[in-house]
Structure 1
Amino acid sequence: MKSLLQLRHIRVENANAITGLTWGFPGIANFLGFTHALSRKLDQRCGLTLGGCAVIGHEHQVQAYQPGGWGEHVFALTRNPLTREGNTAPFNEEGRMHMTVTLLIECEFDAEEINLAGGTLEQKIAGLKELVHELALCQRLAGGTITDIAQVRWQELERDQKERARMTRRLMLGLLPGFVLVDRHDVLAAHHRQRQEQASGSQIELLDSLLDFVALKYQPETGENQEKVEWRRQPKPSPGYLVPIAVGYQAISPLYDPGTVANSRDPDTPFRFVESVYSLGQWLSPHRVNELETIFWSYRYQDELYLCSNAYQEDDEESNDFEDNF
């Protein structure tokens, strides 16, 4: 990564709030897809390419409500026009949300490689920011409409480690208030291994370990007289703002040649049936980020797994065992 592109406070309306079995925030693949589409357009216009991205959430409003004022939430759905017979038209349930996010995007170029019309280097950088702002407003993010981008920034990264650390500190503090979404599969894997050791040979599924971070569990406790029972809420396996997230797909069929599967979207691309893969994510305050490179999400493909991951607090051993845990 030679430089950094910042799309600050992107306001999005009616974004998709459902990803597989999870809801409340778009899947990370939506943001990587947005970055990839922006990179392709930049490559066509001026030969510049982008890398992975980091996601910082500032504000979100899920279009849902509680019918009785308590209990389960229900999505607020649009009412389609009546059919010709006057009946209610069928529809697919969609979860929508409004959100404000900031995207930090890796850039594989420096100031000298910006090939835009302009006399000075400052004019070329200004032209790049204007071009990115124009292209980004024309795209959709997680199926939603981008109504505003507060600011587009671009800066080269310092090569000196101390200067880069200072730059990272200033950048992270400037993103407050907000939360950075990072991958915490290391926490999930550690909890799963602990459950397997305590199970004494019983088969423990990884999904059960993931649900320990989601479910509300209560355990009865009796007093000294053994007559009164008090139900106490059990703490989660690890502290922090931990949430289940969809991180990609796993193949459930062989890879078919282009055009062999009927009704596929692209007849010129190989086709494969997949299912969603889930892991554990964490919303982290930006001021806790010490290394900028650890919060960027990127695509990762190996064997039959198509994943989005980052390297936040992930050592080499956990990285090598990543696929075995699914």
Structure 2
Amino acid sequence: MKSTLLLRHLKVENANAISGLTYGFPAISHFLGFTHALSRRLEQAYGLTLGGCAVIAHSTELQSQPLGNRREQVFALTRNPLTKEGKTAPFNEEGRVHLDISLLIECDFNADGLPGVGALDQSVQILQTWFERTVPTLRLAGGTITALEQVQWRECYDETELRRLRMRLLPGFALVCRHDLLTEHHQQSIKMEPESELLDSLLDFVTLRHQAQQDDTGAVSWQQLAKPAPGYLVPLAVGYQGISPLYEPGSIPSSRDQETPFLFVESIYSLGQWVSPHRIQDLDSLLWRYRHQEPYYLCENLYVAPSLSVEEDDEEFIS
């Protein structure tokens, strides 16, 4: 990572809230796709490219409403125009969410590659101004970007600047991958139930389970079972797996792009975790990057949980 670009408090309206079987927040592929689209425009303008992306969520507002008097929620949908016959037009259910996020983007260039021939401060200002004008013209997860509080490019962070950056990202939570927890729990599940599948282990993290317990008097009470690991853990769509041969361009009549090879895929799920930025010791552990290994098309994050105790971590945050 040669340098970083911080898009702070990026506000998005009506972003896609459904990711395969999960809902509530856009898939990580949306943010990497946004970074890729921004990188293509940057390459056309200045010959520079971007790399991975870290996602920090400050607030989310899911567009849903209660169903009657029950606790069940349904998505708040829009009404499509009537058909020519005056009937209600059919539509697909769409989940939408308003976001307030910050993106920390990896840059594949340093100060020597900045545009302009003047001083370094002028070159940095030219680049930041370009991002301020270009970012609002793009779409993020299908949503409209309505505001961008700050754009900051920095070549490197010392210990003091890194600490200041982490504090500026609060209040918020960074999304990381915890496939290590899922794998560890699945290995334990196999020992107890050899026929257990990986999906069963994933559901153990995201479902609420209760067990009946009977005391000495014969009274029965229901107790909620603890999840396999503590933390703000969520199911996460992390990419796709090919389930068909790679077809030649134009050989599938219903495909949108007749000039690109076509492949049928299915979603891949793993375990994610929302962590507070003040616990992060290395910015590289927050970054998501693409990884293609046939037949997998993955969004990969190499986060490693810190080994600090609770007391040490709290002391670092307060000081």
Match of 1:153 in 2: 152
The answer to whether structure 1 residue 219 and structure 2 residue 218 are counterparts is: no
TM-score, normalised by the number of residues in structure 1: 0.91
1:1-326 to structure 2, matched below 5 A, reads 1-116=1-116, 119-158=118-157, 163=158, 165-199=159-193, 202-225=194-217, 227-313=218-304
> Using the alignment, how far apart are the partners of 2:106 and 2:69 within structure 1?
44
> Using the alignment, how far apart are the partners of 1:119 and 1:275 within structure 2?
50
TM-score, normalised by the number of residues in structure 2: 0.93
AA partner of residue 308 (structure 1): C
CA shift for structure 1 position 30: 0.2
CA shift for structure 1 position 269: 1.6
Equivalent pair of 2:240/2:266 in contact (CA under 8 Å): yes
> Using the alignment, how far apart are the partners of 2:99 and 2:86 within structure 1?
36
CA shift for structure 1 position 82: 2.4
Flag structure 1 segments of 5+ consecutive residues without an equivalent.
315-326
**Aligned to 1:77, what secondary structure does the other structure show?**
coil
> Using the alignment, how far apart are the partners of 1:174 and 1:261 within structure 2?
49
> Using the alignment, how far apart are the partners of 1:89 and 1:257 within structure 2?
35
AA partner of residue 86 (structure 1): G
Equivalent pair of 2:31/2:140 in contact (CA under 8 Å): yes
> Using the alignment, how far apart are the partners of 1:113 and 1:81 within structure 2?
50
> Using the alignment, how far apart are the partners of 1:277 and 1:169 within structure 2?
34
AA partner of residue 112 (structure 1): D
CA shift for structure 1 position 81: 2.2
> Using the alignment, how far apart are the partners of 1:82 and 1:268 within structure 2?
35
**Aligned to 1:211, what secondary structure does the other structure show?**
helix
The number of aligned residues is: 305
CA shift for structure 1 position 87: 2.2
> Using the alignment, how far apart are the partners of 2:296 and 2:90 within structure 1?
35
**Aligned to 2:99, what secondary structure does the other structure show?**
strand
**Aligned to 2:202, what secondary structure does the other structure show?**
helix
Flag structure 2 segments of 5+ consecutive residues without an equivalent.
306-319
**Aligned to 2:205, what secondary structure does the other structure show?**
coil
> Which range moved further: 277-286 or 68-77?
68-77
CA shift for structure 1 position 241: 0.2
> Using the alignment, how far apart are the partners of 2:113 and 2:87 within structure 1?
60
AA partner of residue 214 (structure 1): V
**Aligned to 2:130, what secondary structure does the other structure show?**
helix
> Using the alignment, how far apart are the partners of 1:72 and 1:249 within structure 2?
30
> Using the alignment, how far apart are the partners of 1:166 and 1:268 within structure 2?
50
Equivalent pair of 1:58/1:177 in contact (CA under 8 Å): yes
Equivalent pair of 2:39/2:48 in contact (CA under 8 Å): yes
Equivalent pair of 1:47/1:115 in contact (CA under 8 Å): no
Map Cα deviations across residues 231-278 of structure 1 (whole Å, 9 max, x no partner).
101111100000001000001101112222212222222110000001
Give 4+ residue runs of structure 1 displaced > 3 Å after superposition: none
> Using the alignment, how far apart are the partners of 2:290 and 2:160 within structure 1?
28
Equivalent pair of 2:115/2:126 in contact (CA under 8 Å): no
Equivalent pair of 2:237/2:270 in contact (CA under 8 Å): yes
CA shift for structure 1 position 115: 2.4
> Using the alignment, how far apart are the partners of 2:69 and 2:274 within structure 1?
27
CA shift for structure 1 position 120: 2.2
> Using the alignment, how far apart are the partners of 1:23 and 1:45 within structure 2?
36
The alignment yields a C-alpha RMSD, in angstroms, of: 1.2
> Using the alignment, how far apart are the partners of 1:197 and 1:8 within structure 2?
46
> Using the alignment, how far apart are the partners of 1:306 and 1:53 within structure 2?
16
